[in-house]
Amino acid sequence: MTETTRDSVTRTFGILTAGGDCPGLNAAIRGVCRAAHGRYGMSIVGISDGYRGLIEQNVRVLRPVDFAGILTRGGTILGASREKPFKDSAGRDSEVAEDKVAAIIKNYHALHLDCLVVLGGNGTNTTGYRLACEGLNVLGLPKTIDNDIEGTDRTFGFNSALAIGTEAIDRLHSTAQSHNRVMVIELMGHKAGWLALYAGIAGGGDIILIPEIPYDIKAIGRDLAGRSRAGKTFSIVVVAEGALSIEEAKMDRKDRKKYRADFPTGYRIAKEIERETGMETRATVLGYVQRGGVPSATDRVLATSLGTAAADMLARGEYGKMVALAGNGIGAVDLSLPAGKVKTVPIDHFMLDTAKAVGTCLGV
């Protein structure tokens, strides 16, 4: 049954995906576009490679054929970039940046957009907020495997990456057991520990290290020695890429950056463990595998529902917001809420207690 076209405040909108890609982006694009076009008859301008495409007017009209058959596809049909229009190459606001922002505003109007829909993480939604402050209508959607966006209970991409991380930990168990080794696995997550914490619990990690709880290598050594005395012949240590020691946490930002520059976190911690315990230790850095491939069923559902809710908001002219998961429903928050913030794991989060309750060491 075809729906009758409903009234809509938005006639034409632009859509872009920015920041690192993740599973579920295409499902979200499809959700927004199908509902916006099918239900409200809106016209859609697809913008290539994030904000860069709007600066360079690298755009194309999206027709139903363009967003058909993409639900299960990984990556993004629009392409992505880490272009931050308000920043220069050194990450500072500057005149160069002013030119890029001016180009975005000019092209937004030249394309006759009523709104710009941005699918992205903290940076993308922060830029969206700043563009809204410049007078553009903007709507954000929360995507990232890091799950670190303020204002939403969950981001799409997280569930898929969690499944990949968990499978990797499962696979490490058998080889760790065969060789009586300590296996360190580093998962992504930027400055937040959500992915490592959840995958660590799902995969039964013996030690989980996240940036929110600076670790003490002595405590890790004691835990591993205790496991050994109890007859456990191997251990799995799940490490967030942003995990840091108590000593690193005390360093100023510049010194810490220098100290961490040479080795990925997982390799560094594996070395520290070997030095501390004398136990044979190996490291695996899972990297971009976590961001690739098809979205999980949960991410498809979340991305689709966030996308269709965004289309309804476009129709109502409800701009300046980020669509969000709130409990079991879809809601929206003002774009100023996620702007400039990183949602880390609260130190009293119930999952930390869950981990401790099953005997997992959190590095302290």
Q: Which parts of this chain interact with ligand F6P (CB under 6 A)?
A: 20, 82, 121, 144-146, 188-190, 241, 291
Cα radius of gyration rounded to whole Å, the chain = 22
Closest approach of Cβ 56 to ligand F6P, in Å? 20
Residue (320 or 338) nearer to ligand F6P, CB: 338
Give backbone dihedrals phi and psi of 11, rounded to 5 degrees, phi first.
-100, -45
| Distance from the first to the final alpha carbon of the chain | 59
Closest approach of Cβ 82 to ligand F6P, in Å? 6
- Bridging pattern class, strands 235-240 and 115-120: unpaired
Task: Count the residues in the chain.
Answer: 364
* CB-closest chain residue to ligand F6P: 188
Catalytic residue among 21, 49, 146, 148: 146
Closest approach of Cβ 83 to ligand F6P, in Å? 12
Closest approach of Cβ 161 to ligand F6P, in Å? 8
Whether residue 348 lies in the annotated active site: no
Residue (238 or 311) nearer to ligand F6P, CB: 238
* DSSP result, 128-187: HHHHHHTT--EEEEEEETT---TT-S--EEHHHHHHHHHHHHHHHHHHHHHHT-EEEEEE
Q: How far apart are CA 147 and CA 126, in angstroms?
A: 15
Residue (145 or 270) nearer to ligand F6P, CB: 145
Closest approach of Cβ 157 to ligand F6P, in Å? 8
Residue (190 or 268) nearer to ligand F6P, CB: 190
Residue (18 or 59) nearer to ligand F6P, CB: 18
Neighbour-count burial for 11-48, b at 16+ CB within 10 Å, e otherwise: ebbbbbbbbbbbbbbbbbbbbbbbbbbebbebbbbbbb
Q: List the one residue out of 315, 234, 364 whose CA is nearest residue 36.
A: 315
Residue (197 or 361) nearer to ligand F6P, CB: 197
Tell me the C-alpha to C-alpha distance, in Å, between residue 347 and each of 219, 280, 343: 18, 31, 12
Closest approach of Cβ 22 to ligand F6P, in Å? 7
Q: Are 121 and 149 in contact (CB under 8 A)?
A: yes
User: Among all residues, which ones are annotated catalytic?
Assistant: 146
